[in-house]
Amino acid sequence: MNHEYITEHAIVERYVMGLLLPEECAAFEAHFRNCSNCLHNVEAIRDYRIGVEEPLKPGPRSIPWRWILGGAVAALLFAAGPLVWSVRNLRGAERRINGLSAEIARLNEDSRRAAAETGQLRGELSRNAAPSSGSVPIFSLLLTRGGEDSTVNRVRAVNSGWLVLSLEYVPDPAVKSYRARIEDAQGKTVATVDPLAPATSDALGVALRADVLKPGNYRAVLEGVTRNGRSTVVARYAFSVA
């Protein structure tokens, strides 16, 4: 047994710990009997072992070193166990958080899209749908002879939503359907409502978006379409919006 072998195989340390095979043990003892260097190393390690061992183990020194080592390894494994477990747990939590973040992002995108669609639908509804009664102001317009006197019918300016003009009329059996045109003071048509459904037997309801009627003078022209497809002016209603 030479020093290279002794160093490579940690013979001194293993000898002190009692971990050498019997033939290794015999060979090393034969060597260090004539080697002050190895003997010194053996004693140094023994001294160190005793120094470490004694404060921990008050009992006799006969407790084998390997038990202590084994205990230390076991303690280390025991301590490392929860660490490994918690690292694995953290990884799992991290994966779950990443999954949740993706899910939240997806839900946000969904709700953003839903909100956009809702806004779009609301816009379409306010453009196309018939106004619901109750909250919609209704203004009755009386027939005006010649349709010129706008002081008879006054309509309050409405800021938003819808309003209904209720046109007084006398049903004509020859007329199949009615439509209404709203002209401004310059005679320009600002709205056409077609066809009209009778609100009562003597009035036709004309639903208009409020922003169609800015303050000013207007004329509603009621036209009837006869059964042979001919269109005729049935009545005119001058009114002012203020």
Binders of Zn ion among residues 31 to 60 (CB under 5 A) are 35, 37-38
Instruction: Name the helix (H) or strand (E) containing 47.
Output: helix 36-56
Nearest-CB residue for Zn ion = 35
Size of the site for Zn ion (CB under 5 A): 3
Beta bridge partners of 198: 204
Which residue type is seen at 169? Y
Report the alpha-carbon distance of residue 221 to residue 176 in Å, rounded: 17
Binders of Zn ion among residues 51 to 110 (CB under 5 A) are none
Cβ of residue 25: shortest distance to Zn ion, in angstroms?
15
Cβ of residue 42: shortest distance to Zn ion, in angstroms?
10
* SS3 label, residue 55: helix
Cβ of residue 2: shortest distance to Zn ion, in angstroms?
8
Query: Taking CB under 5 A as the rule, does residue 234 contact Zn ion?
Result: no
Of residues 37 and 126, the one with the C-beta less far from Zn ion: 37
Q: Are 146 and 172 in contact (CB under 8 A)?
A: no
Of residues 12 and 213, the one with the C-beta less far from Zn ion: 12
Cβ of residue 34: shortest distance to Zn ion, in angstroms?
8
Residue 20's Cβ-count burial label (10 Å; 0-12, 13-18, 19+) is: buried
Of residues 42 and 241, the one with the C-beta less far from Zn ion: 42
Strand ranges (DSSP E) for 33-111?
Answer: none
- Site of interaction with Zn ion (CB under 5 A): 35, 37-38
